[in-house]
Chains A and B, each alone.
Chain A
Amino acid sequence: MIDIKNLKVNVEEKEIIRGLNLSVKPGELHVIMGPNGAGKSTLANVLSGKPGYDIIGGEVNYLGKDLLEMAPETRACEGLFLSFQYPIAIPGVNNMYFLKASVNAIQKYHNKPEMDAMDFLKMIRSKLKEVDLDEKFIKRPVNEGFSGGEKKRNEILQMITLKPRLSILDETDSGLDIDALKIVSQGINNFRNSERSFILITHYQRMLDYLEPDYIHVLIDGKIVKTGDKKLAQDLEDKGYSWVRESMGSN
């Protein structure tokens, strides 16, 4: 699905990602954990093509293509989805209109017919149920006045509607109460299949109570320093990142 080799990224002359390697196969769910400032969100932003990052080394192969050469909208159309940590409000633009524009932009990219309003409404109604949102929700302006939980559920709604191949979930668990956490996790689980891959970025292991990750990676100072299974997340939760640093030192 995606192969990241020796990726190096600077932000305003400062090295944030310093030679990161990661390979995700179809169907896998990888979790990236790490302390503040480790470069987690930078990685998510660079993969989705956000402007403002200097890529100074390495390569990223996505479905056989050079990801870093693609425009952000092309990456999206090629099935790369970012669930934003802080989804931004777009006042005046109706949530449904936005999502329909998004679906149709992707349809158009693949030379497929655009969806009309009726078909779209029918489809979106079933998706809304999956994330336990009311129909009124999609008539509100995009992310405007949404609670933290609504914003994250809206991201998941977009994900299950756009059906990406690779979903990067940037701290999707932050700001969620326990009920919302369950709904969001359920949404992800229902969406998982052998074709779809996930990179989940998080500080905490609590979301992992509901998900079945294949790998846990620890990102510190712009590098993946440790990889393990679900147990690693529990160890981190118990012992903190200093434990990883110490074990690195002792190595």
Chain B
Amino acid sequence: MSDDLKIIERITQEEYKYGFVTDIEQDTLPPGLDEDVIRKISSIKGEPQWLTDWRLKAFDHWKKMTEPDWAKVSYNKVDYQSISYYSAPKKKKELASLDEVDPQLLETYSKLGIPLEEQKMLSGVAVDAVFDSVSVATTFKEELSKAGVIFCSFSEAVRSYPNLVRKYLGSVVPYTDNYFAALNSAVFSDGSFCYIPKGVRSPMELSTYFRINASNTGQFERTLIIADESAYVSYLEGCTAPMRDENQLHAAVVELVALDNAEIKYSTVQNWYPGDKNGIGGIYNFVTKRAACRGNNSKISWTQVETGSAVTWKYPGVILQGDNSVGEFYSVALTNNFQQADTGTKMIHIGKNTNSTIISKGISAGKGQQTYRGLVKVLINADNARNYSQCDSILIGDKCGAHTFPYIDIKNKSAQIEHEATTSNIGEDQLFYCNQRGISTEDAISMIVNGFCKEVFNELPMEFAVEAQKLMEVSLEGSVG
């Protein structure tokens, strides 16, 4: 192995720095899944009957389904009866304000770099903090409500805005959609809800920070974002988990709806625990994310930076129903050590003059395996649909892999579809060229990788872009081989 490769290996083997566990008293349901567990979750949350029934229907459906195995990932199957479906920090009493949040939770989030005390927060970002199964705090609620923006935990939305929830829940991802979506619909515990009313631009970025803490549990959160006519919102999602030798399941559902002239920008920095360098432990991230551009001239962008998780299975898509609607997907996925990712997007063109863009950047290092899987579908009445897809992969070292599966299904002759794909290596010649100009191998790799990801990072909100860049550097540590 050359020196460069040794450096790559070292760089990509940096420790995961969010791997601590918060020692806090939690109420956790015993492991196992049956109708009683679902009724129990629903009753803890004080849900109306219709929602309990919906969960039970989803559970019924799930029982008839089989776990999908078409993805290019291999892992030990989850024993769904051996995990707990609900775990929440013990609550002393109802919280009236943030000051009453358990100081241990505040400390946890501040250790993660997400201070929940409003005066310490970045101005311009409201945070909903989800800890295992429940939302523990939402900041800037008052300021948002002045603008008419609703931003709260999913449980609170069910209580306070049942009509909105009932109207949109499952309208983009029905519980019949897939195995993990069905499971989530049956057992989801919390998540974030936001509604931006007609004509309102959200005065600040909204974000949810997901944290798995308890062991032997699954996290099943649900996010629902609705942008009413001519509304705009930018939403960020971050996630981390402790380091554990067992694999933990995270099966979330995210639904976005944009009505006429509305725009939603959804950014994710996914940094779940990826497992150790021998592939032990890590999160199974089996997530269904889908957006509906339901109104004319609506626009939805997904931007994701995926550096964590042992196994990722995720295809944020956009259903372009409204005429002239626009869907975008910008993705950077990094797999190092034994991480596996099968990720991509689905763009379904239904309305006329719809336009979609897919920019996917995959980085594989160590023994990481990565797959881009994307579907571009143009329905028969979708006149003048346009899609541009670009899928680039970069390989660091010689033990990793990159694969691309683009599916294209066109039923309308006026469609214009472009697909470009490249795969390249960070070659020793590139590294030597940088070295010869005084640049160290570590800096050269991060420069090349960042250059490779730039198109996607440019789509992230500023603070996130800086964060993402740093995260890439850390995630790559030890990868040069």
Contact = CB atoms under 8 A, between A and B. Distances in A.
Contacts of B438: 73, 76-77, 102, 105-106, 109, 162
Contacts of B450: 92
Given A91-B452, A93-B451, A101 B430 contact: no
Given A51-B4, A93-B448, A88 B437 contact: no
A158 B437 contact: yes
A87 B430 CA distance: 9
Given A84-B433, A88-B433, A90-B433, A105 B427 contact: no
Nearest to A87: B433
Contacts of A73: 435-436, 438-441
B454 A102 contact: no
Contacts of A49: 435-436
Contacts of A162: 437-438
Contact of B429 (A72, A88, A101): A88
Contact of A51 (B432, B437, B439): B432
A97 B433 CA distance: 15
A89 B90 CA distance: 57
A89 B3 CA distance: 21
A241 interface: no
Given A90-B430, A91-B424, A76 B436 contact: yes
Contacts of B432: 50-51, 72
Contacts of A93: 447-448, 451
Interface string A91-114: 111100111011001100100000
Main secondary structure of the interface of B (DSSP, over half): helix
A102 B440 CA distance: 10
A51 B451 contact: no
A76 B428 CA distance: 17
A105 B439 contact: yes
A49 B437 CA distance: 12
Contacts of A92: 448, 450-454
Contacts of A71: 435
Contacts of A94: 451
Contact of B435 (A52, A72, A97, A98): A72
Given A51-B3, A72-B432, A90 B448 contact: yes
Contacts of A216: none
Interface in B416-472: 424, 427-430, 432-441, 443, 447-448, 450-454
B448 A82 contact: no
Question: Interface size class for chain B?
Answer: 20 to 34
B66 interface: no
Interface string A46-60: 001111100000000
A220 B428 CA distance: 28
Given A51-B428, A105-B443, A90 B436 contact: no
Contacts of A99: 437
B447 A72 contact: no
A35 interface: no
A141 interface: yes
Q: Which of B4, B424, B448 has the most chain A CB atoms inside 10 A of its CB? A: B448
B278 interface: no
B437 A98 contact: yes
A156 B447 CA distance: 22
B97 interface: no
Given A90-B430, A101-B447, A105-B443, A48 B436 contact: yes
B119 interface: no
B2 interface: yes
A99 B437 CA distance: 8
A88 B426 CA distance: 11
Contacts of A52: 2, 428
A77 B436 CA distance: 9
B405 to A, nearest CB: 23
Contacts of B454: 92
A73 B434 CA distance: 8
Q: Which of A50, A73, A105, A162 has the most chain B CB atoms inside 10 A of its CB? A: A73
Given A90-B448, A105-B443, A76 B437 contact: yes
B472 to A, nearest CB: 13
A102 B2 contact: no
Nearest to A106: B438
Interface in B98-155: none
Contacts of B439: 73, 101-102, 105
Q: Which of B4, B424, B430 has the most chain A CB atoms inside 10 A of its CB? A: B430
A28 to B, nearest CB: 22
Contacts of A106: 438
B475 to A, nearest CB: 18
Contacts of B443: 101, 105
B435 A91 contact: no
21 contacts: A49-B435, A51-B428, A52-B2, A76-B435, A76-B438, A81-B436, A82-B436, A84-B436, A88-B427, A88-B433, A90-B433, A90-B434, A92-B450, A92-B451, A94-B451, A97-B451, A101-B443, A102-B438, A102-B439, A158-B437, A162-B438
> Across chains A and B, which 10 residue pairs bring their CB atoms closest together, nearest first?
A92-B451, A93-B451, A102-B437, A72-B435, A105-B438, A76-B438, A106-B438, A73-B435, A92-B452, A77-B438
Interface of B: 2-4, 424, 427-430, 432-441, 443, 447-448, 450-454
Given A52-B2, A92-B454, A93-B451, 13 more contacts: A52-B428, A71-B435, A73-B435, A76-B436, A81-B436, A90-B434, A90-B448, A90-B451, A91-B451, A92-B451, A93-B447, A105-B439, A109-B438
Interface of A: 48-52, 71-73, 75-77, 81-82, 84, 87-88, 90-94, 97-99, 101-102, 105-106, 109, 141, 158, 162
